[in-house]
Structure 1
């Protein structure tokens, strides 16, 4: 113990400092070589893709992009007119082939042009024309990839409904009331209930069948839906049509006058070939066969012209004669049964 009573500080023991733990060293980052390679690979793919995309655009300057197809027909790499011609050559026959339809077990043909059905070549090409900037299409074109364009099938539904209504009058077991014309005689024919073409439901079926026929190139019979139908023309309408038109029409000859020339049409030969009646909304209306008028009149009015709504002169035709016949057929006296056509 030191003097003064103060205890002496303990002396450090040898090796004490060496016993303290060393400060931890921070971990060293590990270099990941794989990540760098992926980045480089991604950049390379991007650059190559850009080069390919640019090459595709440069190589395709046509109005219709190369390798553009419609139902398997290649229409690309040229002008719009060339594309339309390609469609006409390869699909024109398909588009014009009549549909085979069946109504109540009986087969009929439905001509596309008369039913408002068509493959619109021009609209289809317009849809396909112009540059395609889709990278998949552009790059794919360099390696033989196709750009398929769906064809345009416009439908004139009013025309189709009329064609189906005409077909309904010929098909099925239902019979509409009407009046028939034979030499010097008219007959009222009552209607009969039965099966008839369901026009409204058939519109959709025909549109689908036409599209399938053009797309596949195969023609098959399409069964159209039918429904129960009652005749719309009853006995009262038959009696009215007989009294107001059919009997007066067949009572005597009528005379058609135009440009100083005349022709007589009578109930023994001419009028039965020209006249018929059809049901429209439950009423019977007269129908004039224009082809029969043309054959019966022949060249009687050749050179006789009439001023039409366009202000121009036209050769007098069956339509003009048919329009003039109506009042004369209802006349009673010779004067009333003479139809003088105003030539304007």
Structure 2
């Protein structure tokens, strides 16, 4: 093996040492030259901080990004755009850590020294994250984003089919969304968050199949229903509101009837074949309530009829579209035994109001009283005058009469029904039942007791109370046409009720109005005032008091003619014949 000359070996060693020495000198020089400034040409989110010391870089970065730090994070999921509050999501910019990561510190690392000497580049911001807040923000965003797929379906508007479009669902990926949301912070734009789509079980093709195979023949011809020997021809428009097609687990649309809606539509047509059940009730004989026994009836089995209809609806001809309805026993809602236990045995309250004759009052008061007469409230049941009497229409037996609207008399269907409301309210008041809703007239009408009266209007203004006793309450009305209305309540007497009334206070005067417009109704002026009525109820030795506060507005005195010209030197007042009568309506 050859040996190097000792001189050559020595020269090579000196040369290597020189290289190391030069490298060390460069390294030390680079360290000294680099200092603690950010490498030149360095930027964060487009903000240039190269060559600045740490403090200056932090100040510049904070100022330039202060709006972006607090700005909502815009993201998209599918075609929809959403925003997230970074503070609520626990995301903040760590400026100091960002500047340090940009190289604003001395380092003996050759790579770091080379970066200082050759220049920096774009540096990612350092984002601090509160994991719990970020997870909560993602959950909140998912509540907005997540939507179940929508299956195609078919309902009906009359006989016209109405299709529901099949739509895919979307679910935010809650595992991957936090990282994506963090990456979107400070970046601008509206990056898409990871989400999964879910296809509906029933698509457009299945909707079209159902339209062709079932819906079109279903509405093409009438159906004949045979019930108890009666043949009833039913047009498709009678049953389609109760018909719909919805998707099953197999992805096919299945027709079905809402039997309650079907019964409501078809029972009036089948009434000759049915005999309704009769609930137990009471009638008043010789001043005492007598129990009227319940009675079973018979009715079409709507569940079976619905199934039979579904079988024949796809048939093409009328001869094939015939079903025979089966009948079932109809049971009363209130049996004789149940009614006997209600304790309806004696009068617990009675109240009478009087009214001046008017043809519309006779009609409307009589009709409303007729509809209320015989109402039986079981324990816990609520009375609603609007529900029992219904809308005041010509078809429902009501006439046009005088009402109060906006503090003035006006003409409208149902005028006078508030006489029934007031009488019923007072009967309830002295029976000690629980008041739920009542509203006095806007101004005082002198034939009603102050603070103990009620007005009603369809459909919003109602008289409601609850039978809060453990007994039944049977309501009787007695109408003396053109004179009076009496309401009696029958139950078991166990509450003693008395009433007291304050003096009138807070008097308010009325104004005089001249109105020559069409439809004007003259009225006398009535002062406004406040009054308080206290109801004292004693039950099982315990007494409780309830105060009903009423504020009556003044009613203007209204003359249905032009305002007279000012007279000179005359102080004459309108004659008695030209002055409208005192308030007297409903």
Class of the TM-score when normalised by the shorter of the 2 chains: 0.3 to 0.5
**More strand as a share of residues:** 2
Whose relative contact order is higher, 1 or 2, with alpha carbons under 8 Å and at least 6 apart? 1
TM-score by length of 2: 0.26
**More helix as a share of residues:** 1
